[in-house]
Amino acid sequence: MQDNIWVSIGMIGQFFFTSRFLLQWIVSERLGRSVIPHAFWLLSLTGGVTLFAYALYRQDPVFMLGQGAGLIVYVRNLVLISRQKESLT
């Protein structure tokens, strides 16, 4: 039972992680140029945290390292976006 719950958590994390690329593709197509929207980083962070939790449960150091390193990038990009918005106001 517990394993099924964690597999569901992992699948939800993968859904968020995959949906960020779909979002980026749709936004870029609509604008006619390559764009990375703010929501891309929010979906990356949400999916990354969820997948990192799943990797911890699975005790998979390779998966933990990959997701953990990505989390740093996602948070940093969100900080940079926030600073940019503050400087515009």
10-residue averages of pLDDT along the chain (89 residues): 90 95 97 96 97 95 94 96 86
- 37 by DSSP, 3-state: which? coil
Nearest alpha carbon to residue 46 among 6, 9, 2: 9
What integer pLDDT is reported at residue 12 of this predicted model? 96
Predicted structure pTM score: 0.89
What is the token pair recorded at 58?
């699975």
User: How many beta carbons lie within 10 A of that of residue 41, not counting itself?
Assistant: 20
